[in-house]
Amino acid sequence: MIKDSMLQRPLLLAGALAVTVALLHTGCGKSERGAAGRAAKTAIQIKGSDTMVNLAQAWAEEYKKVAPDVDVEVSGGGSGQGIAALLKGTIDIATCSRNMKPQEIEQAKKNTGKEPKEIIVGYDALAIYVHKDNPLNEIAFEQLADIYAEGGKITQWSELGVKLPAGGDEIVRVSRQSSSGTYEFFREHVLNKKDFKLGSRDMNGSKEVVELIAATPTAIGYSGMGYATGHVKMLKVSAKAGQPAVAPTVEATLNHTYPIARSLLVYTLGQPEGVVKSFEDWILSDAGQKGVEASGYVPVPQAARKQ
């Protein structure tokens, strides 16, 4: 009896091991097949800006109708993450809501021997959002810097001369995580490269910023104009106190009267080729630019579309 059970145990274990080995094996088989499958159906990997993730998604869906054998796969994470992935060679196209930094271009050349190629695919006005019940209508860069930058003095709404109807005076600053292109764009152009005051709520996406502001009467934040909803208000912005404040509209973005308008960019390593090239051409076509408009951003005027 005892002998029997002792014999059975190793057998059971051997069985379990065999199953594990078999499972590992099929696991490997699958990934090989996946790689082979990709060759038949081409995939374009896009990653980067959260400002542009909805837009890229819209492109991916539209493009499926034009070229059914090309799979466009989109993920966000922030412009910084897109560039990091492009430099590692894990993606084909990086979307970016800021320009690539010189040291990033340097690194791209060093890692891959290729120079990143940039095209402008649209424009965005970086909008300053407050809750819809906030009586404030316009704001100047200095005030924003006083609210957001390290050493800035404004922490209460009353210091801006605002009395909130819902009560509460402390300004809840909504910001972005540091991999965000929007974060860097705001720091460079509004804060003049000064650092952010600590203690802001750093959201992981453009949409989260607007959602938190919609739920918080005392909040202020920045995000792409494409994320506006009925629960938030976009402020008019002036670069200097005293200058007329401008609302983030399509015209103001295109003629640069809105002070924090920016280009939406896509990067590839070297000159795009094959499917990536046709995809980029399609982005700049009327069909692709319609997607830019539908996502709430400003399309590139016909004359300025170049590669």
Partner 1 sequence: MGEKLLEGLIYLCGISAIIFVLGIFFFVFKEAFPVLAKPNFSLGQFLFSPEWYPTSETNVRYGVFAMIVGTFSVTVLAMLIAVPFGLGAAVFVSEFCGPKLKETLKIIIELLAAIPSVVWGFIGLTVMSKLIVQFTGAPVGVNILNGGVILALMSVPIIVSIGEDALKAVPDSYREAGLALGATQWQLVYRVLLPAAKTGLLAAVLLGVGRAVGETMAVLMATGHAVHIPHSILDSVRTLTANIAAELGEAPEHSDHYRVLFLTGVLLFTITFAVNLAADLVIRGIRKK
Separation CA 15–CA 12 (nearest Å): 5
205 binds partner 1 (CB under 8 A): no
Residue 218's closest CA among 305, 110, 132, 307?
132
Cβ at position 179, least distance to partner 1 in Å = 3
154 binds partner 1 (CB under 8 A): no
159 binds partner 1 (CB under 8 A): no
Question: Is residue 10 within 8 Å of 17, Cβ to Cβ?
Answer: no
Please give the structure tokens belonging to residue 199: 């203690």
Residue 301 carries which DSSP code?
P
- Give φ, ψ of 183 to 5 degrees: -60, -45
Kindly tell me which residue out of 49, 52, 78, 121 binds partner 1, with binding defined by CB under 8 A. Answer: 78
Kindly tell me which residue out of 112, 154, 168, 214 binds partner 1, with binding defined by CB under 8 A. Answer: 168
219 binds partner 1 (CB under 8 A): yes
Nearer to partner 1, 191 or 246 (CB): 191
Kindly tell me which residue out of 50, 77, 207, 262 binds partner 1, with binding defined by CB under 8 A. Answer: 77
68 binds partner 1 (CB under 8 A): no
10 Å CB burial of residue 241 (0-12, 13-18, 19+) is: exposed
Cβ at position 136, least distance to partner 1 in Å = 16
> Taking contact as CB under 8 A, which single stretch among the options 34-42, 115-123, 174-182, 238-246 is the one that binds partner 1?
174-182
212 binds partner 1 (CB under 8 A): yes
Task: Count the residues of the shown chain that bind partner 1, applying the rule CB under 8 A.
Answer: 37
20 binds partner 1 (CB under 8 A): no
Please give the structure tokens belonging to residue 170: 């402390």
* Contacts of 107 by beta carbon, 8 Å cutoff, 6+ apart: 87
Kindly tell me which residue out of 204, 249, 257, 263 binds partner 1, with binding defined by CB under 8 A. Answer: 204
Residue 174's closest CA among 146, 211, 126, 134?
211
